[in-house]
Amino acid sequence: MQTFYTDLLCIGGGLAGERVAVEAAQAGFDCIILSLVPPRRSHSCAAQGGMQAALGNCAMGEGDNPDIHFEDTVKGSDWGCDQEVARLFADTAPIVMRELAFWGVPWNRVVPGPATYFKGGQKFEVYEKEEKAGLITARAFGGTAKWRTCYTSDGTGHCVLYTLDSKVLELGVKIHDRVEALSLIHDGENCFGVVARSLRTGELLVYFAKAVLIATGGYGRLYKHTTNAVINQGTGLILALDTGIVPLGNMEAVQFHPTGIVPTDILVTEGCRGDGGTLLDKNGYRFMPDYEPEKAELASRDVVSRRMTEHMRKGFGVKSPYGEHLWLDIRHLGEKHITTKLREVYDICQNFLGINPVHELIPVRPTQHYSMGGVRTNKDGAAYGLKGLFAAGEAACWDLHGFNRLGGNSLAETVVAGRIVGAKIVEFLKGYEVDIKTQYATAEVKKQEERINELKSKQGRENVYQLRNEMQEIMMEKVGIFRNEKDLQEAVNRLQELLDRSKNLGLVSDGIGANPELAEALRLPGMIKVALCIAYGALQRKESRGAHYREDYPYRNDKEWLNRTLAYWEEGADLPTLKYEPASKVFYLPPGDRGYGEGKVIPKDDNTEEKE
Amino acid sequence: MSVDATVETYKGHRLAGWLDWLQMLTGLTLAVFIFAHMLFVGTVIFGANAFNWIASFFEKTYLAQIGGPILFFIFLLHGTLGARKMPFRTKEQKLIVRHAKMMHHRDTWFWVGQAVTGSILLVIAAIHMWTVLSDLPITAAKGAQEVQNTLWALFYVLLILCAGFHACIGLYRIGVKWGFITRATRAKALKCIYILMGIYAGGELILLLRFLSLKV
Amino acid sequence: MGRTLQFEIFRYNPMDPNSKPRMQTYYLEEKENMTLFLALNEIRETLDPSLQFDFVCRAAVCGSCAMVINGRPGLACKTKTKDLPDKITLHPLPVFKLIGDLSVDTGIWFRGVAKKIEAWVHTNKTFDPNALEERMDNELANQIFELDRCIECGCCIAACGTARMREDFLGAATINRIARFYIDPRDERSDQEYYEVIGTDEGVFGCMGLLGCEDVCPRNIPLLDQIGIIRRKMAIASTGGKVGRLFSVFAKKKK
């Protein structure tokens, strides 16, 4: 058995994993990154829009500061976030953006003089100040009071990822790509590393580490229609859940993006709407101002997605062989703008739809996009329950986003959390020694070997892909944008059935080497468990908050539900055990009205009247 | 730094750059030369006397005696430099042909053509230069006598075609490699190159016919 | 619609001692808006679950799914079947190490060359968290972005005659990467330092201008234009700047 020892093992080589690795490597610690794919192929590279940081350089961002960013974030989260974390995040973000600029990210910069922008389809002019010339500029994103989203044209994620990966290379961080972590090695108190499987050869590998970081991104592929990459199957969350002692936080908080294209579900950036794109219905009518007079298309994502679904339910959707959709209109932005600042969007339309967005409308519908929930950590990024286990980025529930995240906050979170958590890991590693108990590794390897042999023996009768597709359909239909008791209960029941059937999985192929069917079969039971955490958490949460919208409980209920769900999976159980903790230890910003969305709240304070 | 960086410096390091310069400059010289050559030989259109006059001019001024060997040296140098980029082992040759077939890509085939014509030229252009320079003075009569032998005529047809292709594609290649022909100008440049190739091959073949018809 | 597509797919599993390189045929009904991403997944899920291939973003931004499609390297995810004939032949990219079937190891290859050319910003400055960022002209930021758009899919390497003949050739993507740092003022390397990493026959002088790279680049990056610029700069550097000054005057005039 090949065995590796290191100080820090980062599972996941996207932005969060790499940013943490950079921090540890700079402090002189040995670091290995495990990644399913070469790090530059991580899903981070697909993020087009940008990163929020209150730099306040551009004219429309004038007067911005971390306080306003903090408020926007808390409101966006529908008061579900950890406010200490949100504070820390908003304060640190500007430094991190400057640091990235120092390392080589080609942020777009302020061009002094008059500039033309679009907002809500209207053209308007502002004057960019001479004294700000050449500083990092920003664009508008939904749910923000100021223009705050730093960007590099349409390839922000790509540029930042490549820059960080170059830094990782410079610092000599070891990269083990095409390796999948299968389970954590731990003794119930300390985490010692992971058992992993090589996706090149199919061999099992053992990694021992003083600290392990889970940074595996989201779990979009639990849903049938998702903007996420095909590798976003929640593999890191399965690692944590399988320990039985590390909880997943707020798994029912799932964000749907308003503009996934039909039918391929590829995301077109919020930058489209930020720059002035509008949403039209089957009659070519711009409907969003009717629902949200103030913010229109730029309300937060949960609100826009729900309004779109609502409008389609009223019969205003465009019928297509792939279901109903609406139109995104960016034609008025002009060819130059579309082919430069929104080029990625232009390319996607050309490559995957065969249409030209300069002259044609883009078919869009709300599509699963982001997982607010994840491995629950404290504000230092340390996971609950196991010493030496950390998490960051989308895989973590650090809890910056609560029940809805703002566009541009997640991409920023990866690197901001990466810096903060990385520094805390460095602190943790200094002088830390752990007695690695190898018997736990041996036991874990044996367990995985048995699983693999059983699958290869072909005794099972259940087909991997069929089960996976059923799960994805259940999640899409029953645990989607609008939720209710009946559907959720049915989803839980059917997922439990699937979990049971997954014990009887058998391979069709031989399973030799880097066999993709075997890899999928090893993941699937864990994926179903994660799906159950979402569905069951959603069933139990009897209120509507942020992206979690219950038709049967349409009010945000601060009296009973101003809290965070913690889902544990005890060994042998067929349902997660749910516990709850307060949403935030401190409330710098007391719960109130978001200023957009339905705004129905049952306040925490009994004396206050219910407000509509 | 924990990366095994390759930043050691040694004098020979600049050689690659110099050799690249040389390859381009020798190629450029040879291309210019064969067009000039066509113009000089072109005097035969006006008859043997015109041709003989210009030939004797080159000999009287010793341009042929000195320039010839220099040119021969440049030719050999260019051949050697070019050979550094050529596939020598059968494995490499097979690879590049298989690659060109896979890609069905014009510019890759051009390069294969370049390698083939280059190899042929290395032999036949050398023979041509040797026969001409070792038997001064150059006269129209000698030339005519030579090409009126069928084998020699075929030899010259091959030389003309190879030289025309190699020189013109070579010019195009220089433009592309050094970034003078960019994506924006490529189509236009290629058109010019085709025209140039046509002028050269057409011109030289007409001259060949003229020599054939020359009364000795 | 209604076509039956015939897929000829290269199969070989190096981990299986019984496996021999061969072509395998699959038939699939074509569907509306079908891409090779959808087709290959359907083959895997319904016909042959052992078929290896790589997709990640399936939106042409991650560079995972490059393969040789009817002779030409390209991204499978953005290749629509309606643009292809009834018979579709798929091979893994040449040059790179084969993992199995259509899957090749581009990640290790690109990390190797990135280390060789030290593809990161070289600076003697240290980051000051309290200072404003260094200013940069937006036009320059856009130029850097243009070169940074490469997704290292490997198509240009697989389409390069030089790379196929010479294992150590750095290839277009790598030279483009150097160009990206070259124009970035934050990278303090001198021309001479760049020369040392790329002024070789394995580097920019190895390029024979076959244009395969540029003609297959799925990001449509003008790779040879970049190689041309770097070749000129490096050629100038090779003369120690003497011949170069003359040359650069000429080059500027051209602009």
Instruction: Tell me, rounded to whole angstroms, the distance of Cα B137 from its chain centroid.
Output: 24
Q: What is the DSSP letter of C61?
A: S
Rg (chain C; Cα; Å): 21
Q: Tell me the percentage of chain B whose pLDDT exceeds 70.
A: 93
Catalytic residues of A: 257, 273
**Tens of pLDDT, residues A243-289:** 999 999 999 999 999 999 988 899 888 878 888 899 999 999 999 99
| CA–CA distance, A214 with A230 (Å, rounded to integer) | 18
Contact state of B107 with C199 under an 8 Å Cβ cutoff: no
- What does the alpha-carbon distance between residue C179 and residue C172 come to, in Å, rounded to a whole number? 10
Nearest to C161 among B18, B99, B183 (CB): B99
Is C228 within 8 Å of B179 when comparing Cβ atoms? yes
DSSP letter, residue A312? I
Q: What is the pLDDT of residues B15-69, one digit of tens each?
A: 888 888 999 999 999 999 999 888 888 887 787 788 888 888 888 888 778 888 8
Say if CB A33 and CB A19 are below 8 A apart: no
Could you tell me which residues come within 8 angstroms of residue A233 by beta carbon, excluding any fewer than 6 positions away? Answer: A219, A221, A222, A523, A527
In this structure, the number of other CB atoms found within 10 A of the CB of residue C100 comes to 26
Do residues A136 and A160 lie in contact, with contact meaning Cβ atoms separated by under 8 Å? Answer: no
**Among A66, A68, A107, which residue's Cα sits nearest to residue A89?**
A66
Q: What SS3 state is found at A408?
A: coil
Nearest-CB residue to B108 (from C199, C212, C239): C212
Ramachandran class of A114: left when φ > 0, alpha when ψ lies in -120 to 50, beta otherwise: beta
Domain architecture of chain A: domains with CATH: 257-368 (3.90.700.10), 557-602 (3.10.20.820)
Q: Is pLDDT above 70 for A362?
A: yes
Count residue pairs from A and B with Cβ separation < 8 A. Answer: 7
Residue C241 has a pLDDT of: 59
| Chain C interface includes A503 (CB < 8 A) | no
Q: Please state, for a pLDDT cut of 70, what percent of chain A lies above it.
A: 98
Measure Cα distances from A25 to A18, A311, C47 in Å. Answer: 10, 51, 46
Token couple for A62? 């004038």
SS3 A45: helix
> Taking residues A394-404, what's their average pLDDT?
95
More confident residue, A9 or B212: A9
pLDDT in tens, A157-205: 999 999 999 999 999 999 999 999 999 999 999 999 999 999 999 999 9
Nearest-neighbour CA in chain A from B4: distance (Å): 9
CB contact under 8 A, C16 and A166: no
Which residues are A579's β-sheet partners? A566
Q: Which of A142, A411, A418, A390 is nearest to A257 (CA)?
A: A142
Q: Is B103 on the interface with C (CB under 8 A)?
A: yes
How many C-alpha atoms does A140 have within 13 Å on its Cβ side? 21
For A374, phi then psi, to 5°, come to: 165, -165
Which chain A residues contact residue C111 at CB under 8 A? 38, 169, 175
Please report the pLDDT score of residue A21 as a whole number: 98
Contacts of C209 in chain B (CB under 8 A): 107, 111, 173, 176-177
Nearest-CA distance C62 → chain A (Å): 5
3-class secondary-structure state, position A137: coil
pLDDT, residue A483, reads 94
List, as ranges, residues 205-244 from C with C-beta within 8 Å of A.
none
Structure tokens at A149: 């989203």
Q: Which residues in chain C (113-152) have CB-CB distances under 8 A to chain A?
A: 114-115, 118-121, 125, 127, 129, 131-138, 141-142, 144-145, 148-149, 151-152
Residues 3-62, chain B, touching A (beta carbon < 8 A): 3
pLDDT over 70 (residue B2): no
* Integer angstrom CA distances of residue A587 from A109, A253, A550, B72, C58: 35, 20, 25, 88, 41
Task: Take residue A449 and report the two structure tokens written for it.
Answer: 């070997």
pLDDT tens digit sequence for A472-523: 999 999 999 999 999 999 999 999 999 999 999 999 999 999 999 999 999 9
Q: Would you say A41 and A232 are in contact if contact means Cβ atoms under 8 Å apart?
A: no
Average pLDDT, chain A: 93
Q: Is A356 helix (H, G, I), strand (E, B) or coil?
A: coil
Residues of A in contact with B3 (CB under 8 A): 169-170, 172
Q: What is the mean pLDDT of residues A290-317?
A: 88
Q: If you average pLDDT over every residue of chain B, what do you get?
A: 85
Among C38, C61, C64, C183, the residue to mutate for chain A (most A Cβ within 10 A): C61
Q: How far does the CA of residue B195 sit from the closest CA of chain C (Å)?
A: 21
User: How far apart are alpha carbons C116 and C119 in whole angstroms?
Assistant: 8
Q: How far apart are CA B111 and CA C208, in angstroms?
A: 8
Asked whether the predicted pLDDT for residue A442 surpasses 90, the reply is yes
Q: Do B179 and C199 make contact, defined as CB atoms within 8 angstroms? A: no
* Averaged pLDDT for residues C93-101: 95
Q: Which two tokens stand for residue A80?
A: 């579900």
How close A436 gets to chain C, by Cα (Å)? Answer: 31
What is the spatial distance between Cα A560 and Cα A556, in angstroms, rounded to a whole number? 9
Those chains having 3 or more beta-carbon pairs within 8 angstroms of chain A are B, C
Q: How far apart are CA A95 and CA A85, in angstroms?
A: 16
* Distance (Å) from the alpha carbon of A161 to chain C's nearest alpha carbon: 11
SS (H, E, C) chain B: CCCCCCCCCCHHHHHHHHHHHHHHHHHHHHHHHHHHHHHHHHHHHHCHHHHHHHHHHHHHCCHHHHHHHHHHHHHHHHHHHHHCCCCCCHHHHHHHHHHHHHHCCHHHHHHHHHHHHHHHHHHHHHHHHHHHHCCCCCCHHHHHHHHCCHHHHHHHHHHHHHHHHHHHHHHHHHHHHCCCCCCCCHHHHHHHHHHHHHHHHHHHHHHHHHHHHCCC
pLDDT category at C2 given cuts 50, 70, 90 is: confident
User: CA–CA separation, A85 vs A8, rounded Å?
Assistant: 23
> Partners of A226 in the beta sheet?
A368
The alpha-carbon gap from C199 to the nearest alpha carbon of chain B, in Å, equals 6
User: Which of these ranges, A431-435, B74-78, B146-150, C130-134, has the smallest mean pLDDT?
Assistant: B146-150
**Subunit partners of chain B (3 or more CB pairs within 8 A):** A, C
Helices (H), A502-541: 516-540
Q: What is the per-residue pLDDT across A59-113, written as a single tens digit (0 to 9) for each?
A: 999 999 999 999 999 999 999 999 999 999 999 999 999 999 999 999 999 999 9
* Contacts with A7 from chain B: Cβ below 8 Å: none
* Cα–Cα distance, A364 to A279 (Å, whole number): 9
Taking CA atoms, A608 is separated from A108, A582, A588, in Å, by 47, 20, 19
In three-state secondary structure terms, A609 is: coil
**Four-residue CA torsion sign, B49, B51, B57, B60:** negative
pLDDT at B1 over 60: no
Q: Strands C103-104 and C98-100: what pairing?
A: antiparallel
Taking CB atoms and an 8 Å limit, are C235 and B99 in contact across chains? no
Phi, psi of A462 (to 5 degrees): -85, 140
Q: pLDDT per residue over C37-65, tens digit each? A: 999 999 999 999 999 999 999 999 999 99
Q: Which residue of B has its CA nearest to A170?
A: B3
Q: What is the mean pLDDT of residues A402-414?
A: 93
Spatial strand order of the sheet with A248-249 comes to: A396-397, A374-376, A248-249, A563-568, A577-582
Residue A425 near residue A213 (C-beta atoms within 8 A):
yes
Q: With the CA atoms of A475, A480, A482 and A488 taken in that order, what torsion angle do they form, in degrees rounded to the nearest 10?
A: 20
Q: How many beta carbons lie within 10 A of that of residue A136, not counting itself?
A: 27
C-alpha–C-alpha distance, residues A299 and A145, integer Å: 11
Task: Tell me whether residue B105 is exposed, middle or buried, using C-beta atoms within 10 angstroms of its C-beta: 0 to 12, 13 to 18, 19 or more.
Answer: buried
**Chain A, chain C: beta-carbon pairs less than 8 Å apart:** 199
Task: Give the pLDDT mean for B100-119.
Answer: 91
Q: Is B151 on the interface with C (CB under 8 A)?
A: no
Separation in Å, CA of C162 to nearest CA in chain B: 8
B9, pLDDT greater than 50: no
Nearest to A434 by CA among A391, A396, A383, A386: A386
User: Could you tell me what percentage of chain C is helix, strand and coil, using 3-state DSSP and rounding each to the nearest 5?
Assistant: 40, 15, 45
Range with the poorest average pLDDT among A74-88, A198-212, B153-167, C240-254: C240-254
Distance CA B61, CA A474 (A): 93
Residue with tokens 């032998």: B149
Alpha-carbon distance of A365 to A398, in angstroms, equals 29
Contact C184 A98 (CB under 8 A): no
CB A15 within 8 A of CB A414: yes
Report the DSSP beta bridge partners of residue A557: A602
- pLDDT attached to residue A590: 93
In chain A, residues with a C-beta closer than 8 Å to the C-beta of C127 are 98-99, 102-103
Distance CA A177, CA A155 (A): 23
**Rounded to the nearest 5 degrees, what angle is found at the Cα of A463, between the Cα atoms of C16 and A539?**
130
C47 inside 8 A of chain A by CB: no
| Cα-to-chain-centroid distance, residue A387 | 24
CB atoms within 10 A of CB A602: 18
Taking CB atoms and an 8 Å cutoff, what residues of chain B touch C199?
13-14, 16-17
